[in-house]
Structure 1
Amino acid sequence: MSALTLTPQLARRIAHLATFCALALAAWPMAAAAQSVLAPTNATALAGNEDESAIAVNPNNRLQIAVMTNGIVGDAGLPLSFSSDGGSTWTRTVFATGTSADGGPAACCDPTLAWDAFGNLFVGYLQRNPRTIELFVTTDLGATWTNLGPVDTGAAGTLDQPTVVAGAGAVWVTWRDDSNGISARGRLVTGAGAFGAWGAEQDVSTTGNFGDVAIGPLGQVMVVYQTPTGNQGPSNIIVHTDADGLGAGGFGAGVTVTSTNVGGFDYLPAQPGRSVDAEAGLAWDRSGGPRNGRVYLVYTDENPPESHDFDVLVRWSDNNGATWSAPVRVNDDAGTNSQMLPKIAIDQSNGDVAVSWYDARNDTGGGPSATDLDGTANNDVTLFASWSTDGGATWAANVAIADAPTSGYAAATGGQQLGDYTGLAFQSGVFYPAWADNSNSTGDNPAGAGSTLDVYTTAVFVRNQLPTVSVASATGDEGAAIALAGVASDPDGDPLTYSWAVAAAPGSTAGAVCAVVSGGTTLAPSIRCSDNGTYTAKLQASGDPAGPVTGTATVTVGNIAPTVTTAALTLATIDEGQSNAFSATFSDPGWNDTYTGSIDWGFGAAQAVTPVVTTQGSPGHPDAGTLGATHTYMDNGVFTVTGGVTDDDGGSDALATTVTVRNVAPTAAIDKTNATLVNGVYTIFSTAGSPVPFSGRSTDPGSDDLTLTWNWDDGPPAPDVTVVSLHAPPGADPTPSPTGLARDVTDSRLHVFADACLYGVGFASADDDGGSASDLISVIAVGRFTETRSMGYWKNEVTGPRNHTDAGIQCLLRIVGFMSKVFDERRDASTAAAARAVMSTAGTSRASDLLDTQLIAAWLNFADGRVALADLVDTDRDKVGDTTFAALVAGAEAVRLDPNATREQLLYQKTRLDNFNNSKM
């Protein structure tokens, strides 16, 4: 379980308490220690100086506070601030401007406040011109006002320092009157806004000033003052008691309680211009407790005289001031620095007593520093306080109430410096000091630090016991519900409310958070965290008067790996060289994770892929995302494809599927740029014995090794040329090899065909997986003869070869059969015998047969190289070429193949061919 954790305001005070408790244990009887001191707040926050503050707390609601101070230049009113939340926030007004709705005559100075159990807030002050003591009352926090004054009037410059006190059914005011002595006056109070008439003014003394007044439990009244007041001491502190209060008895003779070396104008380093007095103050116990009726007196003494070693002393009387106890020193410092301007207050709910004062104990010189603002010792003061829960016999270790020292001597404070007094109220276990401060520890002094004065206040809790709060450490996984358990109790029984906050430890991943998903106002909430790591769970218990208290514990959150939920390929079967897309989905309960991904395509190193979060997670809803990429397989095979996701904490998951890649056969194509389309067949024309260029191209979408071959069709070996094209030389392509580039290979060759003939040249390509393709092109290599021959010549050649071999004649006839649409489709001329039959016309007169004898002779002339297709030939025996050979044979074959051709037309074509064959061109 964790230890108690205080709020920042409480933790700020622990150092004060620890230091002074150590001193007290060593040399001082110690009363009950304070449970908490809240941070000061600025009750005025005005430009210029505010000092000489008064403070009052509503006995029926300690959260209602009023603070009134000097401060408006030119007698233009007094700052009056109200708080309804114990001093956290303030409504700031200016009272008694002379023209404001409150109706108060223009105020000079010397504010005083008192709040009674009927809810009457009494506001008193001094009017300068004419000189009067004014008193007003409100029951609604200043919304409306009733004028109860003036309490007294006097000559200019005579009346001074009024003080109002209320309780036991009365309100009393004391002041220094125009007789240069102390006066007092009381009035019956019967309810909220209900008052009797003023009693007669009582001139208590003819000397003295700087007094105070208190009301006892039976309505008795006591005043105190200091006399003489015109020097730096010594001086006497005298009390007078009116035993029957508002009755006719009046104040009795003065009782000198003590002498003091602090005069009415005693100059200190902390108040070098304004000076200080002993600032005697009274507090009378009306609590009904064990010390009911005890009256307390606070004052300062200086020993030795003019040493500036002022101490705060308290005495008490249990017999209406007839006799007094020995002094008890309240300040517990061991040094000789000054303590000044004390104020005393009593908690009428239980009889506890508190004292506050300015203290220079920490200013030992050597500055500038946090405790010595100007390098001079004993002139920078901090407000301190102590309290007693045993009737003043012992006092708690002194506590620094202010957060930083104040320099009342600063030029900006003017001649008023820190003024003549401070304020203190005590109610329901909490006391509230009010003091002038220019430290700007609250950060809202308009002039900043070390300049003009604002009035601060705070709350000090005396008997309150803080709640205890603890939290159990917890563990769980990111995204999952994690149960927290807290324990809280308040020894005083204060009802508590709860709130939780969970924060990532310093150095955690940005965005690491935990959300309270249920039970956030209970001691057993549930949280979900966006990321693994270490978190601090803080339980805050509110409801104690001193403010919230927290407890913390560590929450350790583990990582959960992402889950790949689906994996798929666009196609289960593809061809090599084809792309395929892989996609996967994943989820992760830790919605603050970032992700890396990979796809193993079934070979080689995995491909790095960045996952995409498509749905940002939240408490109870995991991150959802996708992973995908496209890959082209360059070889056939069966591959396992695995997609994996890894979070930024190393957790990972993967899912696999398979793809079948089929082999694709290569292509094989012979370049036909220089070929002629003959009867639908690409054909290259050349002359026997001349080189012929060839180019073959093979492509393969895969990354296969290719074997290229050429077959010239002119005899063994077969194939005539073999070329192996490696994908990645020098080694053969492994199986499988799904990476690489598609193949595109061209092989160029020159070949000489020795004999005139028709050749079928073949080009083939085979890949290393058994796929293959081929291409063919026809080559006509014609003979090398130059003069045309007649049909009779060719009849003799096919009958009994004279100039051509049998093989030669057969090759020529192959050319004829390839080029002609008549031979061998209409008439067989595929062999020498068949050709001889064509050219034998004995016994026939058919015009088509006669035409065929000349047509085959013409084609044999072409095959033997005696004429080219584009050559101009003589068809009318005029020894001049009149048409191309190609046109001649095309025209003749068109008529020959026309079933409607006439004899005359056939014979005409026969004559033209005969003329060509016998032209010997």
Structure 2
Amino acid sequence: MRKARLVALTLQFCLSIPLLAADPRAASQQSKKDPGSPAGAPGAAGGGVGTGGAPYPLYPTDRFRDSFSGIIQQMRFNMWGGDRIGSAAAPAGVEGTALGPEGGGDVRANQDASTARQNEHSIDLNPRNRDNVLGSANDYRNGDSGAGFYASLDGGQTFVDGLVPEPTYHVQGDPAVCFDADGIAYYSFISFNRSDSRNGLFVGRSNDGGRSWPQVVALENDTNGADTEDKSYIACDTTNSTYRNNVYVTWTKFPASGTQKILFRRSTDGGKTWGTAKRVDDGGLSIGQGSMPAVGPNGEVYVAWEATTVNGSQVRFDKSTDGGQTFGPDKVVSSVNEPPPLNGVPRDPTFPAMDVDISSGSHRGTIYIVWQDYRNGDSDILLSRSTNGGSNWYAPLRVNDDPTHNGRDQFFPWVTVDPIGHVTVTWLDRRDDPGNLLFEEWGATSNDGGVSFGANYQIADVQSNPSLDSFIGDYTGVSSSDSRVHPMWVDLRRSQEDAYTDSVRVFGLPDVLDVRVAGASPATISWTSQDPSQGAATSYDVVTGGLLDLRADRDYSRASCLANDLPDTPATDTRANPAAGDGFYYLVRSENGSSVGSYGDASFSPDPRDSLDISPPCP
């Protein structure tokens, strides 16, 4: 076993030492959600920490919500010195609530002072700067729908916003955004007049993270109004394939005669010019709508849409392996039971959303498609996946975990895969309203390639009432990076439609009970010895680092070796207390340990300890 891996043992306790009374407010500002642990509380039965000390309260603001890979499975760090640490069990008197994914608080992205709508959201993260978040929406601040943009350079804490300029027609809709591999932002939308039938399809380009849009190009411009362009979406190739930085747009064309069709265009020069339109769907007796492109790890172009056939609705799929030059025959992903008009939501399309795992993990290349479905008597979120490039599809999996047939609707799903391979689905959810009207944004995350999902978690802080408006859009959006998820949804907490977002850390690990400790130097770090099962040859390293460094780096690159080749537990840290507002974390690693440890089972693929390999080895 590489020593750079996490200890293959069961950790009894992992300590983080905050400086006591680092801020005078802390003593009186304990969060109701985080009761203090008793002085000297052990980390778990049969083990513990030799520091004792009074409990340090969690100040209820300025929390750092993050996941810490390794034995520190789930932690919340507080700027005043409080923290949470993973533990095998919680002692009496210590809060024992399992931690789920945690958000940093809902943020309103639109900054206008109007009471106008913002709905139908898309969101993406800049691969060159993950703090650059870009969202889009139908934005009615000027009276009718415009192409609203919301750009952040601080991870979604603050936004600048506005409308993408499009002088040709009066109304814009169906917004969608993406970043290419070089950080160039693209925005696709339809544009039309309400006074006549003229319309078109346009794409904007931004070189400053989505804060300005000096270039807007027409892909389709129906000046005679004979054809109608609808339901466009966009994808950028961020892989290292031959087609890197290609930009793809799909949409539905309603021609002057004949049936509607799913069309595709691509740009190979950064959105300056666009190739000729190609038909994706096979046509025939099916009618396609609500298409979405996505890109595979080798530059494959995938397209999913809803098809209406004589036998009912289906989710269909097609692909190109030559950068969008040609497409093959359609594949049926699943049948769809379309929901009736939902309470307060008269328009609830079952358009699919899709993303692809382009990570280097064992699920690389897996395609995920989600949609809402009424087969269980109310609207549920279903997911199907393909592990062979879309040739075959697994039976749909129900993602929402509320009781089946309970009469509570889930709708407007979206899906994202982060660079590690975690799959997160978000949607609007009514499980908390007995009247099946009010909704919140919810989510669920899979760490096994979509085979299963963890417990659903609430994202939006408050409920929304869709009956306050007549139209809340047709979809929501979500994007992700490094186990952090950024959803964007329509929110009516202010009795008007706004674009809300959050930054949610998804942990990628089973929930564990947690304990909060405080102590002073010297600190004793104890764990369960593996000698009985592995023999006396088992040895241990202890690596430690600062919580503020971990917050800044989001990795273990600034950790250092505290103890090397220990024959057994415990280890002692004699360093002085950390500075006010900081703390220490510890990673315990072994050689010749068992295959199952506090971080995860090494028989899983990918090995869940791989993310710890960035931590520095001991000599």
The two structures share one fold, judged by TM-score above 0.5:
yes
Find out whether 1:71 has 2:139 as its counterpart.
Answer: yes
**Counterpart position of 1:319:** 388
Q: For 2:499, which of 452, 455, 476 is the aligned residue? A: 455
User: Which secondary structure state, in structure 2, belongs to the residue aligned with residue 420 of structure 1?
Assistant: coil
Letter in 2 for 1:278: T
Task: Say whether the 8 Å CA contact 2:160–2:211 is kept in structure 1.
Answer: no
CA–CA distance in structure 1, aligned partners of residues 420 and 214 of structure 2: 31
Cα deviation per residue 1:65-87 (whole Å; 9 max; x = unaligned)? 11111122544632211111111
Task: Say whether the 8 Å CA contact 2:101–2:457 is kept in structure 1.
Answer: no
Pairs within 5 Å for 1:470-489: 470-472=517-519, 489=547
CA–CA distance in structure 2, aligned partners of residues 541 and 319 of structure 1: 46
CA–CA distance in structure 2, aligned partners of residues 88 and 37 of structure 1: 12
CA–CA distance in structure 1, aligned partners of residues 57 and 199 of structure 2: 55
Letter in 1 for 2:352: A
CA–CA distance in structure 1, aligned partners of residues 219 and 56 of structure 2: 53
Q: For 2:477, which of 398, 423, 428 is the aligned residue? A: 423
Find out whether 1:43 has 2:109 as its counterpart.
Answer: yes
How far has the Cα of 1:493 moved from its partner?
1.8
Task: Say whether the 8 Å CA contact 1:345–1:354 is kept in structure 2.
Answer: yes
- CA 1:360/1:331 → structure 2, altered by over 3 Å: closer, same or farther? same
Letter in 2 for 1:385: G
How far has the Cα of 1:186 moved from its partner?
1.6
Q: Extract unaligned runs of 5+ from structure 2.
A: 1-51, 67-73, 75-97, 522-543, 560-575, 586-619
Task: Say whether the 8 Å CA contact 1:187–1:199 is kept in structure 2.
Answer: no
- CA 1:276/1:524 → structure 2, altered by over 3 Å: closer, same or farther? closer
Task: Say whether the 8 Å CA contact 1:34–1:460 is kept in structure 2.
Answer: no
Q: For 2:233, which of 163, 173, 196 is the aligned residue? A: 163
Find out whether 1:198 has 2:275 as its counterpart.
Answer: yes
Pairs within 5 Å for 1:852-891: none
How far has the Cα of 1:428 moved from its partner?
2.2
Letter in 2 for 1:268: L
**Counterpart position of 1:138:** 206
How far has the Cα of 1:156 moved from its partner?
6.1
CA–CA distance in structure 1, aligned partners of residues 253 and 176 of structure 2: 16
Q: For 2:411, which of 317, 340, 345 is the aligned residue? A: 340
How far has the Cα of 1:153 moved from its partner?
3.3
**Counterpart position of 1:186:** 266
How far has the Cα of 1:110 moved from its partner?
1.2
CA–CA distance in structure 1, aligned partners of residues 61 and 290 of structure 2: 35
CA–CA distance in structure 2, aligned partners of residues 431 and 229 of structure 1: 35
Pairs within 5 Å for 1:573-592: none
Q: Extract unaligned runs of 5+ from structure 1.
A: 18-31, 99-103, 365-376, 440-448, 475-485, 497-521, 526-537, 544-921
How far has the Cα of 1:379 moved from its partner?
0.9
CA–CA distance in structure 2, aligned partners of residues 429 and 524 of structure 1: 27
Find out whether 1:238 has 2:316 as its counterpart.
Answer: yes
- CA 1:153/1:541 → structure 2, altered by over 3 Å: closer, same or farther? farther
How far has the Cα of 1:492 moved from its partner?
4.1
- CA 1:145/1:253 → structure 2, altered by over 3 Å: closer, same or farther? same
**Counterpart position of 1:398:** 456
Alignment size in residue pairs = 434
**Counterpart position of 2:182:** 118
CA–CA distance in structure 1, aligned partners of residues 145 and 343 of structure 2: 31
Q: For 1:8, which of 50, 60, 80 is the aligned residue? A: 60
Q: For 2:490, which of 436, 453, 456 is the aligned residue? A: 436
Pairs within 5 Å for 1:419-818: 419-439=473-493, 449=494, 451-463=495-507, 470-472=517-519, 489=547, 490=550, 492-493=555-556, 523-524=577-578, 539-540=581-582
User: Which secondary structure state, in structure 2, belongs to the residue aligned with residue 208 of structure 1?
Assistant: strand
Task: Say whether the 8 Å CA contact 1:213–1:223 is kept in structure 2.
Answer: yes
CA–CA distance in structure 1, aligned partners of residues 450 and 159 of structure 2: 33
Cα deviation per residue 1:550-594 (whole Å; 9 max; x = unaligned)? xxxxxxxxxxxxxxxxxxxxxxxxxxxxxxxxxxxxxxxxxxxxx
Letter in 1 for 2:465: S
**Counterpart position of 1:383:** 441
Task: Say whether the 8 Å CA contact 1:68–1:112 is kept in structure 2.
Answer: yes
How far has the Cα of 1:290 moved from its partner?
1.1
CA–CA distance in structure 2, aligned partners of residues 34 and 181 of structure 1: 43
CA–CA distance in structure 2, aligned partners of residues 138 and 492 of structure 1: 30
| Higher-helix-fraction structure | 1
Q: For 1:58, which of 103, 126, 132 is the aligned residue? A: 126
Find out whether 1:358 has 2:428 as its counterpart.
Answer: yes
Letter in 1 for 2:147: L
Letter in 1 for 2:165: A
User: Which secondary structure state, in structure 2, belongs to the residue aligned with residue 409 of structure 1?
Assistant: helix
- CA 1:384/1:291 → structure 2, altered by over 3 Å: closer, same or farther? same
Task: Say whether the 8 Å CA contact 2:578–2:584 is kept in structure 1.
Answer: no
Find out whether 1:276 has 2:348 as its counterpart.
Answer: yes
Cα deviation per residue 1:263-306 (whole Å; 9 max; x = unaligned)? 6xx301141x3x212231111122232111111111121134xx
Task: Say whether the 8 Å CA contact 2:545–2:556 is kept in structure 1.
Answer: no
**Counterpart position of 1:227:** 307
- CA 1:314/1:7 → structure 2, altered by over 3 Å: closer, same or farther? farther
**Counterpart position of 1:96:** 165
How far has the Cα of 1:494 moved from its partner?
6.5
- CA 1:9/1:311 → structure 2, altered by over 3 Å: closer, same or farther? farther
How far has the Cα of 1:355 moved from its partner?
0.6
What percent of counterpart residues are identical?
A: 26
CA–CA distance in structure 2, aligned partners of residues 109 and 288 of structure 1: 36
- CA 1:77/1:203 → structure 2, altered by over 3 Å: closer, same or farther? same
User: Which secondary structure state, in structure 1, belongs to the residue aligned with residue 217 of structure 2?
Assistant: coil
How far has the Cα of 1:143 moved from its partner?
5.6
User: Which secondary structure state, in structure 1, belongs to the residue aligned with residue 329 of structure 2?
Assistant: coil
The TM-score, its normalising length taken from structure 2, stands at 0.64
CA–CA distance in structure 1, aligned partners of residues 432 and 65 of structure 2: 16
Cα deviation per residue 1:400-431 (whole Å; 9 max; x = unaligned)? 00011111111xx2x32x21000111122211
CA–CA distance in structure 1, aligned partners of residues 62 and 422 of structure 2: 22
Letter in 1 for 2:429: D
CA–CA distance in structure 1, aligned partners of residues 127 and 65 of structure 2: 26
**Counterpart position of 1:251:** 327
Cα deviation per residue 1:451-491 (whole Å; 9 max; x = unaligned)? 211110011112489999854379xxxxxxxxxxx995559
The TM-score, its normalising length taken from structure 1, stands at 0.44
Q: Rg: which structure is higher? A: 1
CA–CA distance in structure 1, aligned partners of residues 508 and 160 of structure 2: 27
Letter in 2 for 1:183: L
Task: Say whether the 8 Å CA contact 1:33–1:462 is kept in structure 2.
Answer: no
CA–CA distance in structure 2, aligned partners of residues 361 and 144 of structure 1: 39
Q: For 2:465, which of 407, 425, 435 is the aligned residue? A: 407
**Counterpart position of 1:802:** none
How far has the Cα of 1:200 moved from its partner?
3.9
Cα deviation per residue 1:200-250 (whole Å; 9 max; x = unaligned)? 4335354211221111122221211112299xx942111112232234xx1
User: Which secondary structure state, in structure 2, belongs to the residue aligned with residue 159 of structure 1?
Assistant: strand
Q: For 2:360, which of 280, 284, 288 is the aligned residue? A: 288
Letter in 1 for 2:365: G
Letter in 2 for 1:261: N
**Counterpart position of 2:569:** none
Letter in 1 for 2:362: P
Letter in 2 for 1:134: F
CA–CA distance in structure 1, aligned partners of residues 58 and 557 of structure 2: 17
Task: Say whether the 8 Å CA contact 1:54–1:113 is kept in structure 2.
Answer: yes
- CA 1:539/1:345 → structure 2, altered by over 3 Å: closer, same or farther? same
User: Which secondary structure state, in structure 2, belongs to the residue aligned with residue 361 of structure 1?
Assistant: coil
Q: CA RMSD in A?
A: 3.5
**Counterpart position of 2:151:** 82
